[in-house]
Structure 1
Amino acid sequence: MKKTLFLILFMLPFLISCSTVMKTYSYKDKKADLNQYKTYAWINLEHFELDNKAGNKLYAHYILDLANKELEKKGFILDVNNPDAVFLFDTQIDDKIAYSQTPQVSVGVGVAGPGYYVGGAVPVAGGNIIEEQYQEGLLFIEMFDSKTNNLVWKGWAQEEVNIYTNGEDLLQRAVTQIFMRLPVKHK
Protein backbone atom coordinates (compact mmCIF):
# COMPACT_ATOMS: atom_id res chain seq x y z
CA MET A 1 0.00 0.00 0.00
CA LYS A 2 2.76 2.45 0.96
CA LYS A 3 4.73 1.50 -2.13
CA THR A 4 1.71 2.13 -4.41
CA LEU A 5 0.98 5.49 -2.77
CA PHE A 6 4.63 6.49 -3.08
CA LEU A 7 4.65 5.48 -6.76
CA ILE A 8 1.48 7.50 -7.48
CA LEU A 9 2.82 10.57 -5.68
CA PHE A 10 6.18 10.20 -7.41
CA MET A 11 4.66 9.83 -10.90
CA LEU A 12 1.95 12.53 -10.55
CA PRO A 13 4.19 15.49 -11.44
CA PHE A 14 5.42 13.66 -14.55
CA LEU A 15 1.89 12.77 -15.66
CA ILE A 16 0.68 16.34 -15.13
CA SER A 17 3.63 17.81 -17.02
CA CYS A 18 2.98 15.49 -19.98
CA SER A 19 -0.67 16.47 -20.39
CA THR A 20 -1.66 19.57 -22.29
CA VAL A 21 -4.29 22.07 -21.35
CA MET A 22 -6.79 23.35 -23.86
CA LYS A 23 -6.73 27.13 -24.10
CA THR A 24 -9.95 28.90 -25.07
CA TYR A 25 -10.45 32.53 -25.94
CA SER A 26 -13.23 34.78 -27.15
CA TYR A 27 -13.80 38.21 -28.58
CA LYS A 28 -17.04 40.23 -28.43
CA ASP A 29 -17.74 43.44 -30.30
CA LYS A 30 -18.28 46.02 -27.55
CA LYS A 31 -21.14 47.66 -29.49
CA ALA A 32 -23.02 44.42 -30.19
CA ASP A 33 -25.95 43.24 -28.06
CA LEU A 34 -25.76 39.47 -28.52
CA ASN A 35 -29.13 38.89 -26.86
CA GLN A 36 -30.88 40.35 -29.92
CA TYR A 37 -29.81 37.32 -31.98
CA LYS A 38 -32.30 34.50 -31.58
CA THR A 39 -32.07 32.63 -34.90
CA TYR A 40 -28.99 31.44 -36.76
CA ALA A 41 -27.65 29.62 -39.80
CA TRP A 42 -24.26 28.36 -40.94
CA ILE A 43 -22.29 29.77 -43.85
CA ASN A 44 -19.53 28.33 -46.02
CA LEU A 45 -20.56 24.70 -45.54
CA GLU A 46 -19.74 23.93 -49.20
CA HIS A 47 -16.08 24.45 -48.28
CA PHE A 48 -16.26 21.47 -45.91
CA GLU A 49 -18.01 19.24 -48.44
CA LEU A 50 -15.16 19.75 -50.93
CA ASP A 51 -12.46 19.34 -48.27
CA ASN A 52 -14.16 16.23 -46.93
CA LYS A 53 -14.08 14.64 -50.39
CA ALA A 54 -10.36 15.39 -50.57
CA GLY A 55 -9.77 13.67 -47.21
CA ASN A 56 -9.47 16.90 -45.19
CA LYS A 57 -11.88 18.25 -42.58
CA LEU A 58 -13.18 14.78 -41.70
CA TYR A 59 -14.77 16.09 -38.52
CA ALA A 60 -16.76 18.94 -40.11
CA HIS A 61 -20.17 17.29 -39.69
CA TYR A 62 -19.30 16.24 -36.15
CA ILE A 63 -18.34 19.82 -35.22
CA LEU A 64 -21.53 21.11 -36.84
CA ASP A 65 -23.67 18.68 -34.81
CA LEU A 66 -21.89 19.57 -31.57
CA ALA A 67 -22.20 23.30 -32.26
CA ASN A 68 -25.91 23.00 -33.08
CA LYS A 69 -26.51 21.25 -29.75
CA GLU A 70 -24.62 23.97 -27.87
CA LEU A 71 -26.51 26.74 -29.67
CA GLU A 72 -29.80 24.97 -28.90
CA LYS A 73 -28.84 24.90 -25.19
CA LYS A 74 -28.33 28.66 -25.39
CA GLY A 75 -31.84 29.08 -26.83
CA PHE A 76 -30.93 29.74 -30.47
CA ILE A 77 -33.22 28.46 -33.22
CA LEU A 78 -31.86 27.23 -36.55
CA ASP A 79 -33.40 29.28 -39.39
CA VAL A 80 -31.72 28.92 -42.78
CA ASN A 81 -34.14 31.31 -44.52
CA ASN A 82 -33.98 34.46 -42.39
CA PRO A 83 -31.41 34.16 -39.57
CA ASP A 84 -30.49 36.98 -37.19
CA ALA A 85 -26.91 35.73 -37.06
CA VAL A 86 -24.75 33.49 -39.18
CA PHE A 87 -21.96 31.29 -37.86
CA LEU A 88 -18.79 30.10 -39.51
CA PHE A 89 -16.22 27.62 -38.21
CA ASP A 90 -12.90 26.27 -39.35
CA THR A 91 -10.05 24.10 -38.11
CA GLN A 92 -6.35 24.04 -38.69
CA ILE A 93 -3.25 22.29 -37.43
CA ASP A 94 -0.07 24.33 -37.14
CA ASP A 95 3.49 23.09 -36.76
CA LYS A 96 5.05 24.76 -33.71
CA ILE A 97 8.43 24.82 -32.03
CA ALA A 98 8.98 25.18 -28.28
CA TYR A 99 12.34 26.01 -26.76
CA SER A 100 13.46 25.13 -23.26
CA GLN A 101 16.73 25.20 -21.39
CA THR A 102 18.14 22.39 -19.30
CA PRO A 103 19.06 23.38 -15.76
CA GLN A 104 22.64 24.36 -14.94
CA VAL A 105 23.92 21.69 -12.57
CA SER A 106 27.06 21.77 -10.40
CA VAL A 107 28.66 18.94 -8.47
CA GLY A 108 30.71 19.66 -5.37
CA VAL A 109 34.00 17.83 -4.96
CA GLY A 110 35.64 17.67 -1.56
CA VAL A 111 38.72 16.06 -0.05
CA ALA A 112 39.31 15.84 3.67
CA GLY A 113 42.62 15.38 5.43
CA PRO A 114 44.00 15.72 8.90
CA GLY A 115 43.45 19.31 10.00
CA TYR A 116 42.51 20.77 6.64
CA TYR A 117 39.70 20.59 4.07
CA VAL A 118 39.81 21.11 0.34
CA GLY A 119 36.64 21.59 -1.66
CA GLY A 120 35.38 22.90 -4.94
CA ALA A 121 32.59 22.78 -7.47
CA VAL A 122 32.85 21.53 -11.01
CA PRO A 123 30.07 22.48 -13.46
CA VAL A 124 28.45 19.56 -15.19
CA ALA A 125 26.49 19.61 -18.45
CA GLY A 126 23.52 21.91 -18.38
CA GLY A 127 22.14 25.09 -19.78
CA ASN A 128 21.60 23.58 -23.22
CA ILE A 129 18.78 24.89 -25.41
CA ILE A 130 16.40 22.14 -26.47
CA GLU A 131 14.10 22.49 -29.48
CA GLU A 132 10.86 20.50 -29.42
CA GLN A 133 8.58 20.33 -32.45
CA TYR A 134 4.88 19.71 -31.96
CA GLN A 135 1.53 20.34 -33.62
CA GLU A 136 -1.23 22.55 -32.29
CA GLY A 137 -4.87 22.09 -33.31
CA LEU A 138 -7.11 25.15 -33.59
CA LEU A 139 -10.89 25.37 -33.84
CA PHE A 140 -12.54 28.74 -34.22
CA ILE A 141 -16.20 29.71 -34.47
CA GLU A 142 -17.29 33.15 -35.62
CA MET A 143 -20.69 34.85 -35.33
CA PHE A 144 -21.73 37.57 -37.79
CA ASP A 145 -24.72 39.88 -37.89
CA SER A 146 -26.64 38.70 -40.96
CA LYS A 147 -27.81 42.20 -41.90
CA THR A 148 -24.52 44.10 -41.55
CA ASN A 149 -22.09 41.19 -42.07
CA ASN A 150 -20.07 42.50 -39.09
CA LEU A 151 -18.24 40.11 -36.79
CA VAL A 152 -19.99 40.31 -33.40
CA TRP A 153 -18.39 37.38 -31.56
CA LYS A 154 -15.58 34.91 -32.04
CA GLY A 155 -14.47 31.98 -29.91
CA TRP A 156 -11.56 29.65 -30.42
CA ALA A 157 -9.74 26.79 -28.74
CA GLN A 158 -6.24 25.47 -29.21
CA GLU A 159 -4.39 22.47 -27.86
CA GLU A 160 -1.37 20.37 -28.68
CA VAL A 161 -2.25 17.32 -30.79
CA ASN A 162 -0.40 14.18 -31.79
CA ILE A 163 -1.11 10.75 -33.25
CA TYR A 164 -2.54 9.59 -29.92
CA THR A 165 -5.06 12.43 -29.64
CA ASN A 166 -8.68 11.32 -29.62
CA GLY A 167 -10.12 13.76 -32.15
CA GLU A 168 -13.76 13.33 -31.15
CA ASP A 169 -13.12 13.89 -27.44
CA LEU A 170 -10.91 16.87 -28.18
CA LEU A 171 -13.50 18.48 -30.46
CA GLN A 172 -16.32 17.86 -28.01
CA ARG A 173 -14.38 19.62 -25.25
CA ALA A 174 -13.38 22.43 -27.60
CA VAL A 175 -16.90 23.14 -28.85
CA THR A 176 -18.34 23.02 -25.33
CA GLN A 177 -15.68 25.35 -23.93
CA ILE A 178 -15.95 27.77 -26.84
CA PHE A 179 -19.72 28.14 -26.46
CA MET A 180 -19.35 28.56 -22.69
CA ARG A 181 -17.70 31.86 -23.64
CA LEU A 182 -20.68 33.00 -25.77
CA PRO A 183 -22.50 35.38 -23.37
CA VAL A 184 -26.04 34.57 -24.51
CA LYS A 185 -28.81 32.55 -22.87
CA HIS A 186 -32.29 32.82 -24.36
CA LYS A 187 -35.29 31.46 -22.46
Structure 2
Amino acid sequence: MKNLTRFLFLIFAAQILASSCSSIMKTYSYKDKKTDLKQYKTYAWINLDHFVEDNKKGNKLYAKYILDLANQELKKKGFILDVENPDAVFLFDTQIENRIAYNQAPQVSVGVGFGGPGYYVGGYVPVAGGQITQENYDEGVLFIEMYDTKTQKLVWRGWAQEKISFTTDLETDIRRAVEQIFMRLPVKHK
Protein backbone atom coordinates (compact mmCIF):
# COMPACT_ATOMS: atom_id res chain seq x y z
CA MET A 1 0.00 0.00 0.00
CA LYS A 2 2.90 2.33 0.82
CA ASN A 3 4.37 1.86 -2.68
CA LEU A 4 1.00 2.50 -4.33
CA THR A 5 0.58 5.74 -2.34
CA ARG A 6 4.10 6.84 -3.30
CA PHE A 7 3.42 6.00 -6.96
CA LEU A 8 0.15 7.97 -7.04
CA PHE A 9 1.89 10.92 -5.37
CA LEU A 10 4.60 10.90 -8.06
CA ILE A 11 1.95 10.90 -10.82
CA PHE A 12 0.15 13.82 -9.14
CA ALA A 13 3.42 15.77 -8.74
CA ALA A 14 4.33 15.17 -12.40
CA GLN A 15 0.93 16.50 -13.53
CA ILE A 16 1.35 19.67 -11.43
CA LEU A 17 4.84 20.21 -12.81
CA ALA A 18 3.68 19.69 -16.40
CA SER A 19 0.78 22.13 -16.03
CA SER A 20 2.96 24.82 -14.45
CA CYS A 21 5.51 24.90 -17.27
CA SER A 22 5.18 27.76 -19.72
CA SER A 23 3.76 26.99 -23.10
CA ILE A 24 5.87 26.67 -26.20
CA MET A 25 5.54 29.21 -28.98
CA LYS A 26 5.03 27.63 -32.38
CA THR A 27 6.00 29.48 -35.56
CA TYR A 28 5.14 28.65 -39.13
CA SER A 29 5.62 30.14 -42.57
CA TYR A 30 4.44 29.82 -46.13
CA LYS A 31 6.34 30.94 -49.26
CA ASP A 32 5.02 31.01 -52.79
CA LYS A 33 7.22 28.47 -54.59
CA LYS A 34 7.20 30.44 -57.84
CA THR A 35 8.50 33.66 -56.28
CA ASP A 36 12.11 34.66 -55.64
CA LEU A 37 11.95 36.84 -52.53
CA LYS A 38 15.38 38.36 -53.20
CA GLN A 39 13.78 40.66 -55.79
CA TYR A 40 12.01 42.59 -53.02
CA LYS A 41 14.26 45.23 -51.47
CA THR A 42 11.86 47.99 -50.45
CA TYR A 43 8.67 47.71 -48.46
CA ALA A 44 5.78 49.58 -46.89
CA TRP A 45 2.97 48.69 -44.51
CA ILE A 46 -0.69 48.59 -45.49
CA ASN A 47 -3.94 48.48 -43.58
CA LEU A 48 -2.66 50.33 -40.52
CA ASP A 49 -5.73 52.59 -40.20
CA HIS A 50 -7.85 49.95 -38.47
CA PHE A 51 -5.27 49.72 -35.66
CA VAL A 52 -5.87 53.38 -34.77
CA GLU A 53 -9.62 52.77 -34.44
CA ASP A 54 -9.14 49.46 -32.59
CA ASN A 55 -6.67 51.11 -30.21
CA LYS A 56 -9.25 53.79 -29.33
CA LYS A 57 -11.64 50.98 -28.36
CA GLY A 58 -8.99 49.33 -26.17
CA ASN A 59 -8.14 46.60 -28.71
CA LYS A 60 -4.81 46.10 -30.48
CA LEU A 61 -2.85 47.94 -27.79
CA TYR A 62 0.43 46.44 -29.01
CA ALA A 63 0.10 47.38 -32.70
CA LYS A 64 2.73 50.16 -32.59
CA TYR A 65 5.08 47.90 -30.63
CA ILE A 66 4.69 45.10 -33.21
CA LEU A 67 5.22 47.56 -36.06
CA ASP A 68 8.43 48.91 -34.49
CA LEU A 69 9.78 45.39 -33.86
CA ALA A 70 8.90 44.28 -37.39
CA ASN A 71 10.65 47.33 -38.88
CA GLN A 72 13.78 46.47 -36.87
CA GLU A 73 13.73 42.89 -38.13
CA LEU A 74 13.18 43.97 -41.75
CA LYS A 75 16.07 46.43 -41.43
CA LYS A 76 18.30 43.58 -40.18
CA LYS A 77 17.35 41.64 -43.31
CA GLY A 78 18.41 44.59 -45.49
CA PHE A 79 14.97 45.86 -46.48
CA ILE A 80 14.46 49.60 -46.94
CA LEU A 81 11.23 51.35 -45.95
CA ASP A 82 9.77 53.13 -49.01
CA VAL A 83 6.20 54.40 -48.70
CA GLU A 84 6.19 55.94 -52.20
CA ASN A 85 7.13 53.01 -54.47
CA PRO A 86 7.73 49.78 -52.51
CA ASP A 87 8.53 46.41 -54.10
CA ALA A 88 6.45 44.63 -51.46
CA VAL A 89 3.88 45.54 -48.85
CA PHE A 90 3.44 43.92 -45.46
CA LEU A 91 0.47 43.68 -43.18
CA PHE A 92 0.01 42.10 -39.78
CA ASP A 93 -2.78 41.25 -37.41
CA THR A 94 -3.31 39.64 -34.03
CA GLN A 95 -6.02 37.36 -32.73
CA ILE A 96 -6.91 35.69 -29.49
CA GLU A 97 -8.75 32.43 -30.02
CA ASN A 98 -10.53 30.37 -27.38
CA ARG A 99 -9.38 26.76 -27.43
CA ILE A 100 -10.26 23.53 -25.65
CA ALA A 101 -7.80 20.72 -24.89
CA TYR A 102 -8.70 17.29 -23.57
CA ASN A 103 -6.23 15.29 -21.49
CA GLN A 104 -6.46 11.76 -20.19
CA ALA A 105 -4.73 10.70 -17.00
CA PRO A 106 -2.56 7.59 -17.25
CA GLN A 107 -4.34 4.30 -16.71
CA VAL A 108 -2.80 2.45 -13.78
CA SER A 109 -3.63 -1.26 -13.97
CA VAL A 110 -2.86 -4.48 -12.15
CA GLY A 111 -2.51 -7.62 -14.26
CA VAL A 112 -3.98 -10.89 -13.08
CA GLY A 113 -3.37 -14.17 -14.88
CA PHE A 114 -3.02 -17.91 -14.44
CA GLY A 115 -2.71 -20.88 -16.71
CA GLY A 116 -3.10 -24.60 -16.89
CA PRO A 117 -2.16 -27.38 -19.26
CA GLY A 118 -3.39 -26.33 -22.68
CA TYR A 119 -5.63 -23.54 -21.38
CA TYR A 120 -4.52 -19.99 -20.56
CA VAL A 121 -6.67 -17.39 -18.92
CA GLY A 122 -5.60 -13.84 -18.25
CA GLY A 123 -6.93 -10.41 -17.62
CA TYR A 124 -6.40 -7.13 -15.86
CA VAL A 125 -8.29 -5.03 -13.40
CA PRO A 126 -8.08 -1.23 -13.64
CA VAL A 127 -7.11 0.36 -10.36
CA ALA A 128 -7.09 4.10 -11.05
CA GLY A 129 -6.58 6.72 -13.75
CA GLY A 130 -8.01 7.22 -17.18
CA GLN A 131 -10.01 10.32 -16.24
CA ILE A 132 -10.50 12.79 -19.08
CA THR A 133 -10.23 16.46 -18.19
CA GLN A 134 -11.14 19.50 -20.25
CA GLU A 135 -8.97 22.62 -20.28
CA ASN A 136 -10.22 25.92 -21.71
CA TYR A 137 -7.46 28.35 -22.67
CA ASP A 138 -6.69 31.30 -24.92
CA GLU A 139 -4.21 31.13 -27.76
CA GLY A 140 -2.62 34.30 -29.09
CA VAL A 141 -1.80 34.42 -32.81
CA LEU A 142 0.33 37.00 -34.64
CA PHE A 143 0.63 36.78 -38.39
CA ILE A 144 2.61 38.87 -40.86
CA GLU A 145 2.00 38.74 -44.61
CA MET A 146 4.05 39.99 -47.58
CA TYR A 147 2.42 40.89 -50.91
CA ASP A 148 3.90 41.75 -54.30
CA THR A 149 2.84 45.32 -55.17
CA LYS A 150 2.60 44.64 -58.92
CA THR A 151 0.60 41.40 -58.84
CA GLN A 152 -1.01 41.97 -55.42
CA LYS A 153 -0.47 38.28 -54.64
CA LEU A 154 0.62 36.83 -51.34
CA VAL A 155 4.28 35.78 -51.61
CA TRP A 156 5.11 35.02 -47.97
CA ARG A 157 3.30 34.59 -44.66
CA GLY A 158 4.70 33.93 -41.21
CA TRP A 159 2.79 33.42 -37.99
CA ALA A 160 3.31 32.51 -34.36
CA GLN A 161 0.88 31.08 -31.86
CA GLU A 162 1.14 30.49 -28.15
CA LYS A 163 -1.06 29.66 -25.20
CA ILE A 164 -1.59 32.81 -23.12
CA SER A 165 -2.93 33.53 -19.66
CA PHE A 166 -3.11 36.37 -17.19
CA THR A 167 0.51 35.65 -16.18
CA THR A 168 1.85 35.92 -19.74
CA ASP A 169 4.44 38.65 -20.28
CA LEU A 170 2.97 39.95 -23.54
CA GLU A 171 5.81 42.30 -24.47
CA THR A 172 8.44 39.57 -24.15
CA ASP A 173 6.28 37.07 -26.05
CA ILE A 174 5.50 39.57 -28.82
CA ARG A 175 9.20 40.38 -29.23
CA ARG A 176 10.04 36.68 -29.42
CA ALA A 177 7.18 36.04 -31.87
CA VAL A 178 8.26 38.83 -34.24
CA GLU A 179 11.90 37.67 -34.15
CA GLN A 180 10.97 34.04 -34.80
CA ILE A 181 8.55 34.93 -37.60
CA PHE A 182 11.15 36.97 -39.46
CA MET A 183 13.75 34.23 -38.95
CA ARG A 184 11.50 32.25 -41.28
CA LEU A 185 11.58 34.94 -44.00
CA PRO A 186 14.14 33.34 -46.36
CA VAL A 187 15.89 36.47 -47.64
CA LYS A 188 18.70 38.72 -46.46
CA HIS A 189 20.01 41.66 -48.48
CA LYS A 190 23.51 43.01 -47.96
TM-score exceeds 0.5? yes
Q: Which residue of 2 aligns with 1:64?
A: 67
TM-score scaled by length of structure 2: 0.82
Give the counterpart letter for 2:106 in structure 1: P
The corresponding residue for 2:103 is 100
Distance change in 2, residues 1:16/1:89 (3 Å): same
2:129 is paired with a residue whose SS is coil
The 3-state SS of whatever aligns with 2:134 is strand
Query: Does the C-alpha gap of structure 1 residues 72 and 106 become closer, same or farther in structure 2, counting only changes over 3 Å?
Result: same
Match of 1:175 among 156, 162, 178: 178
In structure 2, how many angstroms separate the alpha carbons of the residues matched to 1:174 and 1:122?
48
| Corresponding residue of 1:27 | 30
* Cα distance, 1:122 vs structure 2: 5.1
The letter of the residue matching 1:98 is A
3-state secondary structure, aligned to 1:125: strand
Amino acid at match of 1:62: Y
Please give the alpha-carbon distance, in whole angstroms, between the structure 2 residues aligned to 1:108 and 1:89.
Answer: 56
CA change 1:66–1:165 in 2 (3 A) is same
Report 1:28-177 matches (<5 A). Answer: 28-106=31-109, 123-177=126-180
SS of equivalent residue, structure 2 residue 178:
helix
Output the aligned Cα RMSD: 2.2
State the SS of the aligned residue for 1:137: strand
Which 5+ residue runs of structure 2 have no aligned equivalent? 1-12, 113-122
My pick for the range that moved more, 162-171 or 100-109, is 100-109
Provide the rounded CA distance (Å) in 1 between the counterparts of 2:147 and 2:111: 64
Amino acid at match of 1:124: V
CA distance in 1, matches of 2:49, 2:19: 40
Distance 2:172 2:125 in 1: 49
- Provide closer, same or farther for how the CA distance between residues 35 and 49 of structure 1 changes in structure 2, counting only shifts above 3 A: same
Q: Using the alignment, how far apart are the partners of 1:86 and 1:121 within structure 2?
A: 63
Runs of 4+ in 1 over 4 A off after TM superposition: none
Residue-by-residue CA offset, 1:157-187 (whole Å, 9 max, x unaligned): 0000000001100000000000000011001
Unaligned runs of 5+ in 1: 1-9, 110-119
Q: How many residues align?
A: 167
TM-score of the aligned structures, taking structure 1 as reference length: 0.83
Closer, same or farther: CA 135–16 of 1 in aligned 2, 3 Å: closer
